[in-house]
Structure 1
Amino acid sequence: MAKPTDLNASLDERSRDIFRLIVEGYLDEGEPLGSRTLSKMLPVSLSPASVRNVMSDLEALGLIYSPHVSAGRLPTEQGLRFFVDAFMDTGEVDENERKLIESQVKRDNDSPSLDKLLTDASQMLSGLSRGAGLVLTSKREGVLKHIEFIRLEEGKALAVLVWGNGDVENRVVDIPAGTTTAQLSEAANYLNHHARDKSLGDAKRVIEERREALKTEVDTVSADLIERGLAFWSGSEAGQPAQLIVRGRSNLIERAQDQEQIDRLKLLFDELERKDEIIRMLDLTESGSGVRIFIGSENRLFSLSGSSLVVAPYRDANRHVVGAIGIIGPTRLNYARIVPVVDYTAQLIGKLIEKS
């Protein structure tokens, strides 16, 4: 498909008017528009026959299609992308929605947890859009206050990480076969002594600098657990989300038109839980400062379900991308309204994180 700027330049005024009316009609009502209806809606007089000629040209460009014989026209996914890139005016979040967002997404003495803040934001976006609200959190950049290891079973332990802001995170870690409770305690005590009030990255660097001393100061198994644990937490997960929050799945199910679409949505939810594709989409948000829109088959994750994602990154006090927030919905989203809502919410979350 041609670039939006090139394609827009190749359309005359009446072609743009007809295309815009078809897309806006679809986004508002979800129904195809026919030539007779369109001829009455145009700002200039144009016969239904002339409208059909224009529609035929737009169809040849891949911007619209006929859902069945003798029907009106609907935008294709390529047409929606073209509309979003070339025609859509997003504007600002209106005052009422701004107040609603701020009242539901807040961080105070009653709800200090970052997880609570992000869950509230996801739930709020779900309610505003009648879609699913999505929040993706990347690895934490906070400071550690306490680490504890709890033996679960042979080869597995629960690492309890307490962060400086009061959040508590549990992670299951692999441990060498035969690791004793005393060795787990020794590793935890060593980390609490040398990693307290440091980020995971800083703690890893301190331990690496003390590598020779580590071998003489603690048991070999404990030393291995310390090094591998910090490498896993601060290295292998770098840039990858630690948590995915999705609220409002039922909204998408309720808007599905048939059982086949419901089954496709369930596959989408399964894919989301695996996170791989959504992680790559988060990487894409880092390349820009604002909202990204993924429509249907433009992304493998949404190709089967025919869904769209409107997503924006949120940043910490150092302007590093630490997560993303967005809305999953059908391709028939009110993009002009949703885009500024997502953008404003992402900025608000960033400001709240900076203050924490």
Structure 2
Amino acid sequence: MGLTKQTGKDIAAALDERSRDVFRRIVETYLDTGEPLGSRNLSRLLASPLSPASVRNVMSDLEALGLIYSPHISAGRLPTQQGLRFFVDAFMQVGDLSHQERAEIDRQIRPAGTDTTMESVMNEASKLLSGVSRGAGLVITGKNDPVLKHVEFIRLEPTRALAILVGEHNQVENRIVELPAGVSSSQLTEAANFLNAHLGGQTLVELRSQLAQLKIEIASELDQLAGDLVERGLAVRSGESETGKPARLIIRGHANLLEGLAGAEDIDRVRMLFEDLEQKDGLIELLDLAESGPGVRIFIGSENKLFSLSGSSLILAPYRDSEERVVGVVGVIGPTRLNYSRIVPMVDYTAQVIARLSRKP
């Protein structure tokens, strides 16, 4: 867990100017190089002269507060996750973007003279954030739910299919859907025929609601039959899990997170991160996280259970519709040594650009 606000205030009050300077230098070196900083080198960086022995004493105090640690004996010091959170909350200064930087983001997300769709806007935003952060750019959009006039399924793999949704104004949306094991191509065709026969100018949500109600009615009837079978020893009951509603995920820069990783354990952590992201519950959780607080939010390591095993940081900013409802999220996933002060305003402005474009007719 990160520092609470009260704990952070207590620690800030306990640090004198010398301790603050030592702590800041350790964190800034880590964010810049990823390397621990030793007492001898640190003593040369301080504004006021301090011997290596005195620096080690200050380090010991900071270590006792849980702000720094030594990765191994005789090494320098690195910030802990708690220390990074304290640095972000108490020391980091986030500046505004220049006019030129804003113009460049506008240009990259929506190149002049192009017939830009929101799909291309999302892709360009993801590429942009991946490039500036050297991490992975993340864009999550709330589910679009147009009135449908046609549905089609195309099998991609034994357990995956492409769902093609055609709206009443001929807009087309493609979604990857997971299939239960053993579903045949003929069954996919039958499912599409059933949906098309019952669409009748409905959205997918409305149709799903109708099907859910039908399922409840059928389940009630089946429950009576099942109860009879269980009593006669011919069957046993088993539970059924329901998945959350789907969201769409656009992510760029997977390879960036693999650069510079030392061993297989680190690579496995990053792979686990993306496996988590591909879970529907994880996507919905990110939307909820963005909606639960105003502006840009920063999550470091295990502060968010979605990344408790990944050792990564997450910077999120929501974008809203004309009624100020959160309809999506943009952000960056990367190592804990992200350049927070630079990336935060870029994520924030990118979210503003996407919100502005998404509101245009």
- Shorter-chain TM-score range: 0.7 to 0.9
Please identify, of 14-23 and 240-249, the stretch whose mean Cα deviation from structure 2 is larger: 240-249
Structure 2: distance between partners of 1:173 and 1:284: 25
Structure 1: distance between partners of 2:194 and 2:279: 34
Note if 1:304 corresponds to 2:312. no
1:88 is aligned to 92
- TM-score norm. by structure 2 comes to 0.77
Aligned length: 323
2:225 is aligned to none
Structure 1 unaligned blocks of 5 or more: 212-235
Cα distance 1:200–1:16, how it changes in 2: closer, same or farther (>3 A)? Answer: same
Counterpart selection for 2:264 from 249, 259, 267? 259
How far does residue 63 in structure 1 lie from its aligned partner after superposition? 0.3
Structure 1: distance between partners of 2:273 and 2:86: 25
1:21 is aligned to 25
**SS of corresponding position for 1:294:** strand
1:270 is aligned to 275
What residue identity is the alignment partner of 1:304? L
1:333 is aligned to 338
Structure 2: distance between partners of 1:333 and 1:151: 41
Structure 2: distance between partners of 1:179 and 1:55: 66
- TM-score norm. by structure 1 comes to 0.78
Structure 1: distance between partners of 2:59 and 2:161: 64
Deviation per residue, 1:220-257 (Å, 9 max, x gap): xxxxxxxxxxxxxxxx988x552112211111111212
**SS of corresponding position for 1:4:** helix
What residue identity is the alignment partner of 2:38? G
1:147 is aligned to 150
What residue identity is the alignment partner of 2:278? E
| Contact 1:107-1:352 within 8 A present in 2 as well | no
| Contact 1:317-1:353 within 8 A present in 2 as well | no
Deviation per residue, 1:178-207 (Å, 9 max, x gap): 98979965753653x533xxx6567889x8
| Contact 1:113-1:167 within 8 A present in 2 as well | no
Please identify, of 271-280 and 115-124, the stretch whose mean Cα deviation from structure 2 is larger: 271-280
Matches within 5 A, 1:1-356: 1=3, 3-106=7-110, 110-140=114-144, 143-144=146-147, 146-149=149-152, 160-163=164-167, 164=169, 166-170=171-175, 188=196, 191=199, 193-195=200-202, 240-356=245-361
How far does residue 58 in structure 1 lie from its aligned partner after superposition? 0.4
How far does residue 161 in structure 1 lie from its aligned partner after superposition? 2.2
How far does residue 112 in structure 1 lie from its aligned partner after superposition? 3.5
Structure 2: distance between partners of 1:246 and 1:4: 33
What residue identity is the alignment partner of 2:329? A
What residue identity is the alignment partner of 1:83? F
What residue identity is the alignment partner of 2:133? S
| Contact 2:311-2:335 within 8 A present in 1 as well | yes
Cα distance 1:44–1:320, how it changes in 2: closer, same or farther (>3 A)? Answer: same
Deviation per residue, 1:281-316 (Å, 9 max, x gap): 321110112111111122333233321111111112
Structure 1: distance between partners of 2:152 and 2:278: 26
Cα distance 1:303–1:185, how it changes in 2: closer, same or farther (>3 A)? Answer: closer
Identity of aligned residues (%): 54
The alignment yields a C-alpha RMSD, in angstroms, of: 3.4
Cα distance 1:113–1:167, how it changes in 2: closer, same or farther (>3 A)? Answer: farther
Structure 2 unaligned blocks of 5 or more: 215-241
